[in-house]
Structure 1
Amino acid sequence: MRVTLMSGSSHPALGEAVAKVLGLELGRCVVDRFPDGEHHVEVAEEVRGCDVYLLQPLGPPVDSHLMELLLLVDACRRRGAARVTAVVPYLAYARHDRRETGREPLGARLVADMIRAAGVDRLISVDLHSPAVEGCFNIPVEHLSAMPLLAEHLRGTAAPRSVIVSPDLGAVKRAERYAAHLKLPVAVVHKRRMSGSEVQAHNITGEVKGCAPILVDDMISTAGTIEAAVQALLEAGCAPDVTVVASHALLVGPAIERLQRLSLRRLLTTDSVPRPERLPVPVEVVSIAPLLARAIESLHSGAQGR
């Protein structure tokens, strides 16, 4: 069964990078718009009987990229693909994995159902916002982590008196994994979310005075959590030598303005989503192309052996 890799429009550079690692040419597809805004998708590649991998991170504009992915999957199915795997390094709506008030939808489950209904056999994703999201899917999920790659990058560049900091309680386990990998202490910032983009930090657990903080999280959206955490750390006496580490740097809304105010030492992230060309802080990017390529090779080898 021949393997075919195709990329949607959300991150063609990452698609090219994964194809290069695999020694493949990207499959041909056309993604366009009708005048009324509807997507026009065509799969020009011959995929009949193929093991197809569709790469499409669901970064902004989220809904457009999600609809494009669903149409690409359906097109591959109708062209006779034997198996379709969605490679979605950043999965949108993963924060909607539970209902807080009982008045909102379960967005993660709804997106999972749409992906399955389109004809996806398996999903590959990286550092889901919550492990519980995997339970929303009725198809196998290959949940990869960029944490070892990012931690290894930090190993030789962390300041002597570094401390791993979780910017909120939800990221504590992630911070503990970084700390174990780097053999560093952990501190936790306690936050209160005021709105979708406004956050207040009100307490810190752990010693940070005089330390160089390394804030770790799965994603940076508006940077509200990061801004509140950095301000709390500086007030607690930490060194003004702040590193922020995140698997997914979405950087939407006021994010760039907030990062500019913080005067960070650096931002360490991956290429899971495209990033703005100009950022107000030094950015170091670790590519996840080899990570995705290994997963594709492993899954394809398993399919071949059945």
Structure 2
Amino acid sequence: MRVVLMSGSSHPALGESIAEMLGVEPGRCVIDRFPDGEHHVEVVEEVRGCDVYLLQPLGPPVDPHLMELLLLVDACRRQGAARVTAVVPYLAYARQDRRETRAEPLGARLLADLIRASGVDRIVVVDLHSPAVEGCFSLPVEHLSAMPLLAENLRHTVTPDSVIVSPDLGAMKRAERYAALLKLPLAVVHKRRMSGSQVQAHNITGDVKGCAPILVDDMISTAGTIEAAVQALLEAGCAPLVTVVATHSLLVGPSLERLQRLPLRRLLTTDSVPRSEPLPIPLEVVSVAPLLARSIEMLRAGLPGH
């Protein structure tokens, strides 16, 4: 079965990298807008009878990128694609996997239903905010992790006084995995979220005095959690040499201002979402293209992903 890899407008550069690794030409499509703002999508590539992979991270602006993905899937289905896989390195709405009040929607479940209804056969994601989000989908989910790639990059710079730090209890499992991979001690910051962008840290479990902290999380949005965690670590006597590691760096709102105020040694992240211009922080990027290309090759061969 012929394989077609096609990218939406969210991250075409990543799509080109994956296509090169797979030895295929990127599938052709046209994406634009009608005067009233509606998306217009046309799949130019012949996909009848093909195994189609649609790459579209759902980074900002989230909703237009989501709508693009749904329309691309529908267009491929109506053209007769044999199988359609959505490759979504960053899955938006994954933080809405539970309701805090009766007045809130279950955003992750709604997103999963929309993707299934469009005609997707399966979805490939990287480092979900919560593994529980997999349960929102009624189709197969290939949940990949960039943590081994990031840990391997970190391995060359860790020192005897390095300590892995979870910026909150929610990231504890992730921090434990980094600590095991790098054979480093572990600490956790206890936080209280005041609003969508305001966080207050109030306690630290673990010895961080004189240590060089490595904060690990799945994503950085406004950097409120990172800022609060670093302030708490500095007050606890850690060395002002902070490394932050996150798979997805959205860096929206006041994030850059917050990160610039911190004694940031490096921010290590992936290219799960695009970055169009240099940033005023010590940023290092590890590509997820090899991870995604390997997953696609395994799916083509009918093998389960990892």
Under a length normalisation based on structure 2, what TM-score does the superposition of the two structures give? 0.98
Paired letter, 1:147: M
Aligned to 1:227: 227
Paired letter, 1:171: A
Instruction: Please state if 1:247 is matched with 2:255.
Output: no
Task: Number of aligned residue pairs: give it.
Answer: 303
Query: Would the aligned equivalents of 1:250 and 1:275 in 2 still touch at CA under 8 Å?
Result: no
Displacement after TM superposition at 1:102 (Å): 1.7
In 2, the alpha carbon distance for the partners of 1:281 and 1:158 equals 20
Aligned to 1:265: 265
Instruction: Please state if 1:205 is matched with 2:205.
Output: yes
Instruction: Please state if 1:153 is matched with 2:134.
Output: no
Return closer, same or farther for 1:240/1:276 CA change in 2, 3 Å cut-off.
Answer: farther
Q: Deviations over 1:172-214 (max 9, x none)?
A: 0000000000000000000000000000000000000000000
Aligned to 2:94: 94
In 2, the alpha carbon distance for the partners of 1:235 and 1:43 equals 55
Displacement after TM superposition at 1:276 (Å): 5.0
Paired letter, 1:154: L
In 2, the alpha carbon distance for the partners of 1:159 and 1:242 equals 12
**Identity between Structure 1 and Structure 2 (%):** 84
In 2, the alpha carbon distance for the partners of 1:187 and 1:21 equals 38
In 2, the alpha carbon distance for the partners of 1:32 and 1:243 equals 40
In 2, the alpha carbon distance for the partners of 1:227 and 1:159 equals 23
Aligned to 1:169: 169
In 2, the alpha carbon distance for the partners of 1:275 and 1:170 equals 27
Aligned to 2:75: 75
Which aligned pairs between 1:1-306 and structure 2 lie closer than 5 A? Answer: 1-302=1-302
Displacement after TM superposition at 1:278 (Å): 2.6
Question: In structure 1, the residue corresponding to 2:229 is in which secondary structure?
Answer: helix
Query: Would the aligned equivalents of 1:94 and 1:130 in 2 still touch at CA under 8 Å?
Result: yes
Paired letter, 1:291: L
Question: In structure 2, the residue corresponding to 1:21 is in which secondary structure?
Answer: helix
In 1, the alpha carbon distance for the partners of 2:279 and 2:231 equals 20
Displacement after TM superposition at 1:301 (Å): 1.0
**CA RMSD between the two structures:** 0.8
Q: Deviations over 1:92-149 (max 9, x none)?
A: 0000101111210000000000000000000000000000000000000000000000
Paired letter, 1:227: E
Under a length normalisation based on structure 1, what TM-score does the superposition of the two structures give? 0.98
In 2, the alpha carbon distance for the partners of 1:26 and 1:267 equals 31
Q: Deviations over 1:7-52 (max 9, x none)?
A: 0000011001111111111000001011111001000000000000
Paired letter, 1:206: G
In 1, the alpha carbon distance for the partners of 2:161 and 2:73 equals 49
Listed as ranges, the gaps of 5+ residues in structure 1 are none
Paired letter, 2:284: E
Q: Name whichever of 52-61 and 255-264 sits farther off.
A: 255-264
In 1, the alpha carbon distance for the partners of 2:24 and 2:161 equals 44
Question: In structure 1, the residue corresponding to 2:6 is in which secondary structure?
Answer: strand
Paired letter, 1:192: R
Listed as ranges, the gaps of 5+ residues in structure 2 are none
Question: In structure 2, the residue corresponding to 1:302 is in which secondary structure?
Answer: coil
Displacement after TM superposition at 1:281 (Å): 1.6
